[in-house]
Structure 1
Amino acid sequence: MDQRRSPVPGHRPVVWLVVGTRPEAIKLAPVADALAEGGRMRPVVVATGQHPEMVGQALAAFGRTADAGLTVDRRNGGQPELLAQLITALDGLAAQSPPDAVLVQGDTTTTLAGALTAFWRRIPVVHLEAGLRSFDMAAPFPEELNRRMVTQAAALHLAPTPEAAGNLRREGVSGDDILVTGNTSVDAIRAVTERAPTFADGALAEVVEDATAGRHRLVLVTAHRRESWGEPLREVLRAVAELVTRHPGIRVVLPAHPNPEVRRLVHDTLGTEDRVLITEPLAYEELAAVLAASTLVLSDSGGIQEEAPTFGVPVLVLREVTERAEAVHAGCARLVGTDRELIVATASELLVDPAARVAMMSRGNPFGDGAAARRTEQAVARLLGLAAAAPDQFRVADLATVSGGV
């Protein structure tokens, strides 16, 4: 259904950018900049309070703060409690000052709450990073369902890749309501890696400096998915310990998830390993610098699957399925799940065989070219009647070869 609007003379439309988690803040910050620089619309960054400290930290990496902040009172930590509070708070804010469009990103509870709030008030919903599918409702959980529900509410679907756009078309979304933009994660990581990083942890700074100078090879490990907690994560950590034993020339950096049980497991398994540096969750610019200096990444993070190809760094995906299959299809990522033997065997192959590693390096990033935020601004302007034509779409075939850096 075409929900494009006619402009109101003298009115500069307000576009909410709803953020609740660190990845949302990272991926929406370039969009806020593009909207502000375009001058046609006024971006309002609404922080929902889902993960307030991490959102503030992520926005600060781009010189931004939230324009409006909500507070949630989480007691049992459950999804019903969080969703109810987010919707109530967002609806109250919209009642006071209704926006002209609401832009949500990805698949979080904040994303779903923002989309439902806007839809119920007949405000156009713009879904950034639309169309990702794992085709498994149990993984990622509950994010796979969240994405599908937001698809039903959205007026404009900004798909990061042609494959994501194809998923939407197969579900009956009109091609007129879909635009392939690329992923703004590529815009974001390019922006922060243009600056020299500042590390809060001196030990981490030394590890990155030594890796950059070629004194050792760096392996980044991140594991935070809820479905991996417990025995699956234990198997991943045992695989890391075995890799350190087998390959004396590597150093491992592992930012520990803040969950107490996860942190206990990490420290119990790897806390005595001299060549494993366990850190607090890293600021975005620190994580980008570690990623750029890495030889290999083991991760269950969707964002890292999108970012690592920018630097030509292979990713072993610690999940059974991924909604970012483009990385696997492009050859820059492999699914290894949480099987200890498979992780060790695959990582060892890449650490000892340079040809195997080179074969995995992406010919450009299949997730974007750094212009996604600009395309998003143009697409939203068209939705609101401020532009006549749709922007050019992101095409993987247009990417230049990238090898080891931006």
Structure 2
Amino acid sequence: MKKIMLVFGTRPEAIKMAPLILEFKKNPFKFETKVCVTGQHKEMLEQVLDFFSVVPDYNLNIMKPQQDLYDVTSNVMSGLREVFQKEKPDYVLVHGDTTTCMAASLAAFYQQIKVVHVEAGLRTNNIYSPWPEEINRQITSRIAMYHFAPTELSKNNLLRENIAETIIDITGNTVIDALLIAQDIIKSNLEVENEIQAIVAEMGYDVKRLDSEKKMVLITGHRRENFGQGFMNICNAIKKLSQNYPSIDFVYPMHLNPNVRNAIDSVFPDFTKIANLFFIEPLEYREFVYLMSKSYLILTDSGGVQEEAPSLGKPVLVMRDTTERPEAVIAGTVKLVGSDTNKIFEETSRLIENKINYVEACKAINPYGDGKACERIVANEIFVK
């Protein structure tokens, strides 16, 4: 029996690792599955764990006020030292590009534990964009002994870095597995949908406003690279859009980070007076999936949303200058607009006003998988050697 430990710390990681945890736990005679969360995110992380009924074996609870990347990195590594010494896992699985991912990989390496990287091979090849995510994933790739790449392009990125093809497997992205599980839960139970609508309304937006005539644009933003002027530009674009399209609702679940909230407060000192603009509190994963399904299009700087929205047939405008997910750009499911106020406005307007462009974006095929990534990972031969 192999002992598997999955380590993650943020909400996006939790969403993508939860279905993998459930898949490993389907095989209790093959795997002893342990879960360690670092708490790099706290409330938002716990929401996802509750939704997927995942109970961590360890919680490092590293989140502290005013912490920076030095604090996160050192606290993850020191916390995992004791966990790894106690559990002695055969494999540590990490995900993506967070500071938790990088620090956990290094902590496992220091104890000569095999590191497996889920969602491996994403690249912009600019270590400052996105920052610090690009360098996190590059460091993790140097440490990992096996790489589960979501797409052919991700695999090719790894091959160009002289990583052997024999230790790379293309699986699709586990975020699609999570999305399909969430959709099934929501669609199969009218009481769940009614509960979701009530929660979203309590947060500040009544989904029942939407009908065949009323549209909603969903907005998210949280990336460090947009802190400061970037978020100011994004907020100014939202303001201009809400003024030019009064019949469309613009809904922005606000990230908890003060850098995001301060920009919103600066541009919208009294946003409650704008009838079609809704800055609401952060949503749990279930509620956010529901809002995505009800949206007309999505403005985001999130990596996960770039992968999820195409499976729901929703066009995505990415408010970043670069993306480590060019497959979606090539497929036509997303378009980069940066944090330029005018470009965000112009490209959003084009999708609102040009039906042909909108329909083409909706029909584009999602390049990130079929919802069976977790099955492929668990069945990989490395876990049965």
Hey, what's the Cα distance between the residues in 1 that align with 2:348 and 2:364? Answer: 21
Q: Could you tell me which residue of structure 2 aligns to residue 202 of structure 1? A: 201
Is the 8 Å Cα contact of residues 48 and 284 (structure 2) preserved in structure 1?
yes
Hey, what's the Cα distance between the residues in 2 that align with 1:373 and 1:97? Answer: 23
Hey, what's the Cα distance between the residues in 2 that align with 1:232 and 1:383? Answer: 43
1:265 CA displacement? 2.3
Superposition pairs for residues 260-279 of structure 1, below 5 Å?
A: 260-270=258-268, 271=271, 272-279=273-280
Q: Could you tell me which residue of structure 1 aligns to residue 128 of structure 2? A: 138
Supply the RMSD in Å over aligned alpha carbons: 1.6
Aligned partner letter, 2:81: D
Hey, what's the Cα distance between the residues in 2 that align with 1:170 and 1:237? Answer: 39
Q: Percent identity?
A: 37
1:31 pairs with 3, 20, 24, which one?
A: 20
1:231 pairs with 224, 229, 232, which one?
A: 229
Is the 8 Å Cα contact of residues 165 and 180 (structure 1) preserved in structure 2?
yes
User: 2:111 aligned with 1:110, yes or no?
Assistant: no
1:268 CA displacement? 3.9
Is the 8 Å Cα contact of residues 204 and 277 (structure 1) preserved in structure 2?
no
Aligned partner letter, 1:42: E
Hey, what's the Cα distance between the residues in 1 that align with 2:259 and 2:25? Answer: 42
Is the 8 Å Cα contact of residues 56 and 66 (structure 1) preserved in structure 2?
no
Is the 8 Å Cα contact of residues 222 and 257 (structure 2) preserved in structure 1?
no
SS in structure 2 of the partner of residue 334 of structure 1: strand
2:172 pairs with 179, 182, 203, which one?
A: 182
1:73 CA displacement? 6.5
Q: Could you tell me which residue of structure 2 aligns to residue 321 of structure 1? A: 322
SS in structure 2 of the partner of residue 254 of structure 1: strand
Q: Could you tell me which residue of structure 2 aligns to residue 402 of structure 1? A: none
SS in structure 1 of the partner of residue 104 of structure 2: helix
Hey, what's the Cα distance between the residues in 2 that align with 1:64 and 1:385? Answer: 24
User: 2:354 aligned with 1:356, yes or no?
Assistant: no
How many residues are matched?
372
SS in structure 1 of the partner of residue 53 of structure 2: coil
Hey, what's the Cα distance between the residues in 2 that align with 1:375 and 1:115? Answer: 22
Structure 2: stretches of 5+ with no match in the other structure: 187-192
SS in structure 1 of the partner of residue 368 of structure 2: coil
1:182 CA displacement? 0.5
Superposition pairs for residues 241-390 of structure 1, below 5 Å?
A: 241-270=239-268, 271=271, 272-379=273-380, 382-386=381-385
Aligned partner letter, 2:382: L
SS in structure 1 of the partner of residue 371 of structure 2: coil
Hey, what's the Cα distance between the residues in 1 that align with 2:316 and 2:229? Answer: 22
| Structure number having the greater helix percentage | 2
1:280-319 deviation line (CA, Å, top 9, x unaligned):
1110011101111111111000010000000111111000
Q: Could you tell me which residue of structure 2 aligns to residue 148 of structure 1? A: 138
SS in structure 2 of the partner of residue 72 of structure 1: coil
Larger RCO (CA under 8 A, 6+ residues apart): 1
1:210 CA displacement? 3.2
1:195 CA displacement? 2.3
1:21 pairs with 10, 27, 37, which one?
A: 10
Is the 8 Å Cα contact of residues 18 and 114 (structure 1) preserved in structure 2?
yes
Q: Could you tell me which residue of structure 1 aligns to residue 190 of structure 2? A: none
Hey, what's the Cα distance between the residues in 1 that align with 2:312 and 2:119? Answer: 21
Hey, what's the Cα distance between the residues in 2 that align with 1:47 and 1:57? Answer: 13
1:15 CA displacement? 0.6
Hey, what's the Cα distance between the residues in 2 that align with 1:66 and 1:184? Answer: 19
Q: Could you tell me which residue of structure 1 aligns to residue 189 of structure 2? A: none
Q: Could you tell me which residue of structure 2 aligns to residue 216 of structure 1? A: 214
Q: Could you tell me which residue of structure 1 aligns to residue 116 of structure 2? A: 126
What TM-score, normalized to structure 2?
A: 0.93
Hey, what's the Cα distance between the residues in 2 that align with 1:365 and 1:343? Answer: 23
Structure 1: stretches of 5+ with no match in the other structure: 1-11, 387-406
1:317-339 deviation line (CA, Å, top 9, x unaligned):
00000001111000111110011
Say if 1:341 and 1:124 are closer, same or farther in 2 by CA, change over 3 A: same
Superposition pairs for residues 37-48 of structure 1, below 5 Å?
A: 37-39=26-28, 40-48=30-38
Is the 8 Å Cα contact of residues 74 and 82 (structure 1) preserved in structure 2?
no
Hey, what's the Cα distance between the residues in 2 that align with 1:65 and 1:14? Answer: 17
Hey, what's the Cα distance between the residues in 1 that align with 2:356 and 2:116? Answer: 42
Stretches of 4+ aligned residues off by more than 3 angstroms: 73-76, 203-207
Is the 8 Å Cα contact of residues 42 and 63 (structure 2) preserved in structure 1?
no
